[in-house]
Structure formats: C-alpha cells, structure tokens
Amino acid sequence: MGEVDFHLECIDCGAEYQADQVIYSCRRCGGLLSVEYDLSRVEANLDESWRGRALSVWRYRELLPIREDEKIVSLGEGGTSLNRCLRLSEDLGLKDLYVKNEGENPTGSFKDRGMTVGVTKALELEMGRVACASTGNTSASLAAYAARAGLECIVLVPSGKVAYGKLTQAMIHGAKVIQIRGNFDDALGIITKICSSHPIYLLNSLNPFRLEGQKTVALEIRDQLGGGVPDKIVVPVGNAGNISAIWKAFRELRELGLIEDTPQMIGVQAEGAAPIADSLRRGLSKVEFVEEPETIATAIRIGSPVNWKKAVRAVRESGGLVEKVSDEEILKAQELIARLEGIFIEPASAASIAGLKKLVQRRLIDRDELVVCILTGHGLKDPGVVLERFPKPVEVEATEEDVVRAIMPTEREAMKITAS
C-alpha cells in the first residue's frame, strides 16, 4: 500500500500544517507539533504487511512520514534484541522482565531510529545542512546519518560534559563540533534560534519527524512479544522526546485496532536533573525547570525538557508516573545488569533499571507484571565512569606461577567455598 496521509498538528491549539514545511513549533501559539496520520483510511492489514519484512525501523513504513522511498537514509537501524532477564528479574523480585537493548543500533543508541527518518526528511525538504544541540548521543547519530546522506552537519555540545565515545563519533563523521560554555539547555536555545532564521534543518526532538522514527521501538516490542503489550514500559527521560514517541506508537496501535490495552509509561530522571518528576510530585500543572542540572548520567543532564508537555500527557493518559534516582543508584544498576545479564549500558540507560528497582521496592510495580525497560545507549560510549569506579586490574609477572597465584582464591574465599 502507499503511505497513509499525514500532516503536522499543534498539540495545544490543534492548528494544522502541511508536512512539507520547515517548521518546529506552532505559528499561532508556539506549541509543540506532532505528526498525525489519517488512520481511519488505512485499508491494508498492517500486521500482514509487517510480518513479511525484517524487524527494523522501516518495517513500519506505513506509519512513517516519508513520501519518497528512494531518499531513505539508512544504516540498518532498529531490529534490536528484546532480552528476557531471568537473573536480573530474580534479583529485583520480578517474574517477567525484558530489556530492549537499543545500544545495538548503528551508532550505539536509540537516536538512530529518529535520525534515519529525520535525515531522510532533510533530503525531502532539500536542506543542505542539518544541526542539533546534544548531550552526546544525538550528535553522534546525526553526524553519522548526515555523513551517509552527504549533508553538512553542525552540533553544539556543552563543553566538558559529553562522554568521550560520543564526542569521538561526531568528530570522525566530520561534523562541525562546537563546544559551548554552558549546558545542553543553553545549546538547544541557541541552535533552535539559528535554525529558525537560517536554512539549516534542526534535528533535535522538537522536530516531530524525528520522533516518528523513535516510536518504532514500541512497534518492535509488540511484535517481539508476539502481539502482546507490556504492563509497564520504563524509560530514562532527558528532553522527554522518547517517552512521548513511545506512547504515541501505542496510541496509534490502539486506534488502528491492533492492540486493546496500552502499557503504563514510567519515566526515570536523575535526581539532579528531575524537573518532570519533581513537578509531578508537587502536583504542578506546568513543569518547573531546573537551572543547573547535574548528574553523572550526562546524556540526561537536562533541566528544561522541551517535550515536557507531550511527556506529561503520555504519563497521565497511560496511568504512569515519573520517578527519580540518585547517581549512586544509577551506577549500581549499571553494574548489576552488566554482571547479571552481560549487557553493558551507559549511565543514562541504567537510570531505567535503577528506577525499576525503586518502584518494585515501593510496590508500585507488581511482581507479576510484564515489564520492558528501554536501554537507550551502549556502555562503551562512556567508559570513563567505569574506569573511575573500579580498582585497576592486578598486574603480575609474565609467568604461569604468578598468574596461578593471582587467580587462586584467597584464604577467606577458600573458607567460604568449603563452608558452602
């Protein structure tokens, strides 16, 4: 079938815009834009079309806002594994825990799902330059997809606060990397203004097309669960684009009659950068921003999440919540999943595991529930946090005896082994 018809719509005042415009917010009221499809006119059996294609972002072509297939810029994004975690489940006191390992994407984070669509849209709109502000992963991903498309790429990052792996990626792919003496929120404000007055295409999550790509993680989860829907989805939150995108997918699936129930959306923020968690807890109707966000999870070191309104709706409509976790809890969770499941994730991703642990302890997640945690980025992005935490490996002479001595149990360990 051909694509479903779509347009842009303001989430506040409902103003509609044609999808072939370069526009990042509502001209009437400044509200966030969303891509809306004419789902009532989908005639094909989508499940049947999807089943014949490999698990990937583009498997869900009908629900993606692209008109010219031949322009698609792809690096093989999506199709990440959904791992059932028996050992971690047992440790946390759950029965049915799965993790969606987004670190398997081409540049090592979930951002690739958005960039394949966003950069394709840049080509459709005939924009020669693309740009973003980033805490790291967005810049790594945009730089790679821009290179693939032959577009010029500009990225603004907070100086000294981006993990080396990510900065390295942006550099090697040839992006113009500009470090600003300020935080992510400052960088986003600046680049948004520049893109509004220059022919440069903004690919932060204010861009509703990018978020359409990100929603495919939810479509994959449903397919990987054999058509089932989790009770809870747990996802780390920074700018709050991802949680909004995932919820949008479940809403669309419900509207299409492809699912009946929807999951509760659970966001997790870092304590030093938790404007949404704090504002919801205080019962505020608006999110109060954090001036100087701080956390070891630099990917989510964000004080003014631009998509807060979409995220709050996702949480309210789904009956979910937003939790916050300390840096210490994040680091412990990162180590826990690495040791129990063999999955190495970056600190921001570990926020979801840390949040899950807290919510199980508080009985806000029940032992019998089917839970899926989104692991948003690969651990190798940010090896520094691990190197700083662990003692250096022992060093011995290059002889068999020395190595044997080093691997033999200490007296205390030996006693423990005999005792058990």
**Minimum distance, C-beta of residue 273 to ligand AN7, in the bound complex (Å):** 10
- CB-CB neighbours of 415 under 10 Å: 11
Q: Is 77 in the site for ligand AN7 (CB under 6 A)?
A: no
For residue 89, give the 3-state DSSP assignment. Answer: helix
Figure out which of the listed residues 56, 216, 239, 279 binds ligand AN7, where binding follows CB under 6 A. Answer: 239
Alpha helices by DSSP H, listed for 101-240, are 111-124, 137-149, 164-172, 184-197, 208-214, 216-224
Figure out which of the listed residues 74, 83, 135, 295 binds ligand AN7, where binding follows CB under 6 A. Answer: 135
**Minimum distance, C-beta of residue 300 to ligand AN7, in the bound complex (Å):** 5
For residue 179, give the 3-state DSSP assignment. Answer: strand
* Contact pattern for ligand AN7 over residues 365 through 394, marking x by CB under 6 A: -----------xx-----------------
Q: Which is nearer to ligand AN7, 312 or 348 (CB)?
A: 348
Chain position carrying tokens 């993990």:
163
Q: Which is nearer to ligand AN7, 42 or 133 (CB)?
A: 133
CA–CA distances in Å: residue 373 to residues 85, 100, 143, 233, 266: 10, 6, 27, 6, 9
Could you tell me whether strands 232-236 and 264-270 are parallel, antiparallel, or unpaired per DSSP bridges? Answer: parallel
For residue 109, give the 3-state DSSP assignment. Answer: strand
Chain position carrying tokens 């072939």:
20
Q: Which is nearer to ligand AN7, 360 or 374 (CB)?
A: 374
Figure out which of the listed residues 56, 107, 109, 279 binds ligand AN7, where binding follows CB under 6 A. Answer: 109
For residue 374, give the 3-state DSSP assignment. Answer: strand
Contact criterion met (CB below 8 Å) for 359 and 316 = no
CA gap 176, 131 in Å, rounded: 9
Q: Which is nearer to ligand AN7, 239 or 264 (CB)?
A: 239
- The angle formed by the CA atoms of residues 71, 73 and 79, to the nearest 5 degrees, is 130
CA-derived radius of gyration, the chain: 22
Q: Is the dihedral of CA 321, 322, 328, 334 positive or negative?
A: positive
CA gap 226, 247 in Å, rounded: 19
* Contact pattern for ligand AN7 over residues 204 through 223, marking x by CB under 6 A: -x------------------
Region of residue 353 (left: phi > 0; alpha: psi -120 to 50; beta: else)? alpha
The single-letter DSSP state of residue 333 is H
**Minimum distance, C-beta of residue 123 to ligand AN7, in the bound complex (Å):** 22
Which range in 53-61, 223-231, 275-283, 345-353 contacts ligand AN7 by CB under 6 A? 345-353
Figure out which of the listed residues 9, 112, 341, 346 binds ligand AN7, where binding follows CB under 6 A. Answer: 346
Number of residues that bind ligand AN7 (CB under 6 A): 21
**Minimum distance, C-beta of residue 407 to ligand AN7, in the bound complex (Å):** 35
* Contact pattern for ligand AN7 over residues 179 through 198, marking x by CB under 6 A: --------------------
**Minimum distance, C-beta of residue 350 to ligand AN7, in the bound complex (Å):** 9
* Contact pattern for ligand AN7 over residues 267 through 286, marking x by CB under 6 A: --------------------
Alpha helices by DSSP H, listed for 72-110, are 86-92
Which range in 45-53, 131-139, 272-280, 407-415 contacts ligand AN7 by CB under 6 A? 131-139
Figure out which of the listed residues 101, 134, 318, 334 binds ligand AN7, where binding follows CB under 6 A. Answer: 134
For residue 297, give the 3-state DSSP assignment. Answer: coil
Q: Strands, DSSP E only, in 239-393?
A: 264-270, 321-325, 370-375
The single-letter DSSP state of residue 418 is H
Q: Which is nearer to ligand AN7, 83 or 138 (CB)?
A: 138
Q: Is 237 in the site for ligand AN7 (CB under 6 A)?
A: yes
* Contact pattern for ligand AN7 over residues 347 through 366, marking x by CB under 6 A: -xx-----------------
Give the residue from 291, 223, 236 showing the smallest Cα distance to 111: 236
Q: Is 290 in the site for ligand AN7 (CB under 6 A)?
A: no
Which range in 93-101, 118-126, 135-143, 354-362 contacts ligand AN7 by CB under 6 A? 135-143
**Minimum distance, C-beta of residue 402 to ligand AN7, in the bound complex (Å):** 40
Site for ligand AN7, rule CB under 6 A: 109, 134-138, 205, 236-242, 299-300, 346, 348-349, 376-377
